[in-house]
A and B are shown apart, each in its own frame.
Chain A
Amino acid sequence: MTGQPDLPDTQMESLRGAYVYETPVRLWHWINALSVVVLSITGYLIGVPLPTTTGDASEWYVMGWMRFFHYVSAYVFTIGLIVRVWWAAVGNRYARQMFYLPIWRRSWVSELLYQLRWMLFAERRSMLYLGHNPLANAMMFTLFLIPSVIVTITGFAMYAEASGHESWQYAAFAWFIDLWVNTQDLHTIHRLAMWVIVLFAIAHIYTAVREDIMSGQSMISTMVNGERLFKGRGVIKR
């Protein structure tokens, strides 16, 4: 554990920075991003397959490979999520932020509204945060974490259909099928959750780039080397 960075809350002119995202968090972020890309593309093409192939069926394995890559990246995604939850428990405080919304903290709520106004061009300056700002935190929780849990459960429930009654997937996830019974609904929910994650990706990438340029704090390089850098004045919030 690296502990909490010791930063004076004073206003300084020089470039200030601190190590916030530990290696497992950064590694997870990029592996997870890659798996989401593979999962979304293959998943989309499983529901809406590519134009038909012709010739002998034994010469092709298009849907087979599509499903194979979907399953492999699904395992990467799921195991990554589990490791990430574990790291939230043992890592520094910034590793935990994504997993809860501190709505009971009045300052968090008012800063969430401030960040919203900032994104709507109603505030001239962004606040500075070592970790996630409240708006980013809210977005990660609602548009990434929750749909991720939903795609994982529905995904494994559908996996259990193919692997059969004796499989561990069936033992672990068949209860979820009971909620809808008709497994066509699992496909629909799975797909809707995928689209929510696509929306998240659009908003996430855009706001990361924008904040990197406009808010006076580093974003993209932080997810590469773990260092949050601040330029200019301003009180840094934890």
Chain B
Amino acid sequence: METFYEAMRRRGVSRRRFLKFCTMTAASLGLPPAMVPEVARALETKPRIPVLWLHGLECTCCSESFIRSAHPLATDVVLSMISLDYHNTLMAAAGHQAEEIIAEITTNHKGRYIVAVEGNPPLGDDGVYCIVGGKPFLHQLQEACRDAMAVIAWGTCASWGCVQAARPNPTQAVPVHEVIRDKPVIKVPGCPPIAEVMTGVLSYILTFGTLPELDRQGRPKMFYSQRVHDKCYRRAHFDAGQFVERWDDDGARMGYCLYKMGCRGPTTYNACSATEWNDGLSFPIKSGHGCLGCSEKDFWDRGPFYNRLTDIDQFGIEKNADEIGAVAAVAAGAAVAGHALVSAGQRLLQKRGSDDDNA
């Protein structure tokens, strides 16, 4: 199998551009400049890793994001880098021809290929809610993952379930790690994940031949170890207590913190505030809208998106902790006042009774 460098040269990329690319890749992985030759050597010598990119219940926003990656370079470079052998929306093959690719890769590259999953399998009614090539997606996923080196769960669907797994989850969609238990699953959540994060994870695996260090939830530490809030450029306004109180108020125009507007930056682990989107152009908070927490588990069920405090609907009513607590506190206060009144009355009566006895 040809190396990444050979594939790049075949596509007319100059050596100079190749080395630039290696520098960008090293930088995006947080490696020191001395590691650039390592990256170049790896890409020159190692065979490209075959990647099977499967699609379950999803909206293809992960793919859309992925093909807009700026660092490492855009589409053709990334596509040649990883030898993307199967990808419903990008491959030329169709029908049986396409499905044969999976069989070919899984038999000829046992233990040396990666399965990247976009979306997730619905388990309800034997999986009929997502049929790929005439079979439930779950079967395709399990077959493809059987001899994989690792599984990458692209996006919040594959990582946590996302919108199709939100209550009441009618199709019983489950994240990938709940059905693939014998392979390392790297979660790259986000709806979609940041393009540079996706390509960064892949280029790390290609460069070092090992999986990146993961946090307790299975997310690559290099991109998901900090919250959006921790690196937010509006953080100074948060610390100062300067908030947007209403859309289009003065604070909104001044770029104040969106915390009171329900921004989920303080509870969302992602690299948005560091790498930003579309080649570093912007990210939601920079555009004046709070973070929705799209890379977090069950973020659809942690609404409302425009309130800081989450609604608790376990009691059958939509109230947040403060509303429940305040009602309980007022009720307790009223109970105490009533109780005190009755106590005082009773005491008064008793006293009068004992006075009468004495008289």
Contact = CB atoms under 8 A, between A and B. Distances in A.
Given A164-B225, A165-B221, A206-B339, A192 B296 contact: no
Interface in A52-82: 52-54, 57-64, 66
A181 B242 contact: no
A192 B242 contact: no
B242 A53 contact: yes
Interface residues of B, number: 53
Contact residues of A: prevailing secondary structure: helix
B240 A53 contact: yes
Q: Which of A184, A188, A203, A214 has the most CB of B within 10 A?
A: A184
Interface string A171-204: 0001101101111111110011011001100110
Interface stretch (A4-12, A43-51, A224-232): A43-51
Given A181-B160, A184-B296, A206-B336, A195 B325 contact: yes
B14 interface: no
B244 to A, nearest CB: 8
Interface stretch (B92-100, B113-121, B197-205, B340-348): B340-348
Interface of B: 160, 215-217, 221, 225-227, 230, 236-245, 250-251, 256, 259-260, 264, 267, 293, 296-299, 302, 308-310, 312, 320-322, 324-326, 328-329, 332-333, 336, 339-340, 342-343, 346-347
Given A165-B225, A174-B216, A184-B296, 16 more contacts: A47-B322, A52-B243, A57-B240, A60-B241, A61-B240, A62-B240, A164-B226, A175-B216, A181-B297, A184-B264, A184-B293, A184-B299, A187-B267, A188-B320, A202-B333, A203-B336
Interface of A: 44, 47-54, 57-64, 66, 119, 121, 161-162, 164-165, 174-175, 177-178, 180-188, 191-192, 194-195, 198-199, 202-203, 206, 210, 213-214
30 contacts: A47-B308, A47-B309, A53-B240, A59-B240, A60-B242, A61-B241, A121-B343, A162-B230, A178-B216, A181-B297, A181-B298, A182-B298, A182-B299, A183-B267, A184-B267, A186-B267, A188-B312, A188-B321, A192-B324, A195-B321, A195-B322, A195-B324, A195-B329, A198-B329, A202-B329, A202-B332, A203-B336, A206-B336, A210-B343, A213-B347
